[in-house]
Amino acid sequence: MRLEVQCQDRQGLVHELLNLLVKRNIDLYGIEIGENYTVYLRFSSVDFDDFSGLMAEIRRTPGVSDVRRVTYMPSEQAKRALHALVNSLPDPILCTDIKGRIELTNPAAQQLFSLNQQTPAHSLTSLIPNLELPSTQTKKSLPLTLQGRDFLVEVCPLFLPDDDTSQVQQTGTLVILNSATKIGRAVTLTDLDTEGAFNHIIADSPKMRQVVQRAKKLAMHDAPLLIIGETGTGKDIIARACHQLSPRHSQPFLALNCGSIPDDVAESELFGHAAGAYPNALESQKGFFEQAAGGSVFLDEIGEMSPSLQTKLLRFLNDGTFRRVGDEHEVHVDVRVICATQKNLQELVDLGTFREDLFYRLNVLSLQLPALREHPQDLMALASFFVARFAHEQGIAVPRLASSLASHLSRYHWPGNIRQLKNCLFAAMTQFEGDELRPQDVNLPSYTTDDDVDVLQLEGTLDEINGRFERSVLTKLYASYPSTRKLAKRLGVSHTAIANKLREYGVGQKSSDYKASNER
């Protein structure tokens, strides 16, 4: 119950009001002092007779002009209004205390970060790791990518006056995540000129964190950078992030896949051509190196470059000069060259298909990207990132990821790496219905290679390594012994043990088919 007591400014009046509650054994839950000498009391429920008697005694108290029952205390009303305002806003909003613990979120933020009423209190840095809380009254804005979506984040420190010191004290922080498309500007990698350049890169595992740390250091140099990694490991993303973090971030970043176009076209794309160099070439054309002057050029699949083009590239790397196709005049530009390959360039040098001097010229700074199977700790973070992005693109709520999805995804070796995982989840999201993405929603490709058993996958704990190896053995042998009894006999263990292992690792046919195969 709540009462509003209109009274005079008389010393001891509040104490007398509280004594009336104590006399009737009524528990006090809260008291507030409002403007114009108004006292608000919140207390436990009482029956009608006690309440009528209490109201009469309060009215007889000297200095009290009026008393009435109210629905809410002033603080409760203000809190309700604040929640209604915050909940009506479409952009995610979070409010923290002075230590960065989240105290308030609106539905948009709860959906973005998969929070609910039962979720324990999070720290702001656990949800947005790269965000620093301000220590001054200055508001700041920065672009960030969260859950596959781009935002312009406003960080506003909150201050209240301190009655004892007559100074303002920081009480917390308000974080507003403005949607990039809503505010009329696309927050992309070109907007990120500091640490934010690497926000698109998932690096929860120690191995990937080391890669990112090394990449950030190499990004600050002008020497050629060689990025090595299997297909789908994100070489182009790392290359672009390195450019955005470098002092060249305000200049162009142009990319060319050396293995996707004919040699003569690649030469013209890189170095340009003079008027008349080709049929129908009526005007001269600048190539990538001239167009990216002051910036960076990314040459993907450099191992596919022809010997003649390798020679011209080597000269450019040596002194920064080249000639357009069909032109006699030399051009000089300042461009950083970033190359990528999935091939072993040293083997190509030994075979005579790649120039040794160019190899050493390119390999000044190098970065090795691990295959996805070498950092399985990033699987779920990547899955969450892609699922959130696809859900946003489809205009649907971001589904939860079932806890069993992690073990399901880790059972596959992902030879196509991050790109294959992305495509697999995209296919799942196009058919998905519901609010939770489960293992049965994600179809993993079948194992068709002979290298399923890979004892060199040493990432993780001993139990994790043994689990991957054991699962690989069962997967390989199940093709030849397609029943739990046959497989148990082959491995010299009990039928029950094999049945449990097959069920644990999801090896073989669907669970409804296990019974049929076991009865044979």
Q: How many alpha carbons lie under 13 Å from residue 496 in its C-beta half-sphere?
A: 0
CB neighbours of 166 closer than 8 A, spacing ≥ 6?
none
Same domain, 262 and 239: yes
Angstrom distance (rounded) from CA 310 to CA 302: 9
In a domain, 186, yes or no: no
Phi then psi for residue 229, to 5 deg, are 175, 160
Q: Where are the alpha helices (DSSP H) in 101-221?
A: 107-112, 124-127, 206-219
Same domain, 208 and 332: yes
Same domain, 207 and 356: yes
- 249 touches 197 (CB < 8 A): yes
In the numeric block, the tokens 């009435």 are attached to 68
Q: Which helix (H) or strand (E) holds 332?
A: strand 330-332
In a domain, 400, yes or no: yes
Same domain, 337 and 475: no
Tens of pLDDT, residue by residue over 61-111, are 888 888 999 888 888 888 888 778 777 777 888 888 888 888 888 888 887
Average pLDDT over residues 104-126: 76
In a domain, 83, yes or no: no
Strands 2-7 and 102-105: unpaired
Angstrom distance (rounded) from CA 393 to CA 233: 23
Angstrom distance (rounded) from CA 496 to CA 513: 16
Same domain, 252 and 381: no
CB neighbours of 397 closer than 8 A, spacing ≥ 6?
111, 391, 435
In the numeric block, the tokens 């039962």 are attached to 118
Angstrom distance (rounded) from CA 245 to CA 443: 37
In a domain, 334, yes or no: yes
Q: Check whether 162 has a pLDDT greater than 80.
A: no
Same domain, 316 and 420: no
Angstrom distance (rounded) from CA 272 to CA 330: 12
479: CATH: 1.10.10.60
Same domain, 300 and 393: no
Lowest-pLDDT range, 397-406, 428-437, 497-506?
Answer: 497-506
Domains contained in the chain, number: 5
Confidence bin at 143 (pLDDT 50/70/90): confident
In a domain, 185, yes or no: no
Average pLDDT over residues 21-50: 87
Domain range enclosing 480: 462-505
Same domain, 284 and 420: no
431: CATH: 1.10.8.60
Same domain, 68 and 52: yes
Q: Check whether 172 has a pLDDT greater than 50.
A: yes
Out of 368, 395, 428, a domain closes at 368
pTM over 0.75: no
In a domain, 81, yes or no: no
In a domain, 432, yes or no: yes
Out of 335, 368, 401, a domain closes at 368
In a domain, 450, yes or no: no
Same domain, 263 and 321: yes
68: CATH: 3.30.70.260
Beta strands in 408-474 (DSSP E): 436-437
Same domain, 307 and 206: yes
Report the percentage of the chain scoring pLDDT > 90. 23
231: CATH: 3.40.50.300
Same domain, 165 and 202: no
Out of 76, 98, 128, a domain closes at 76
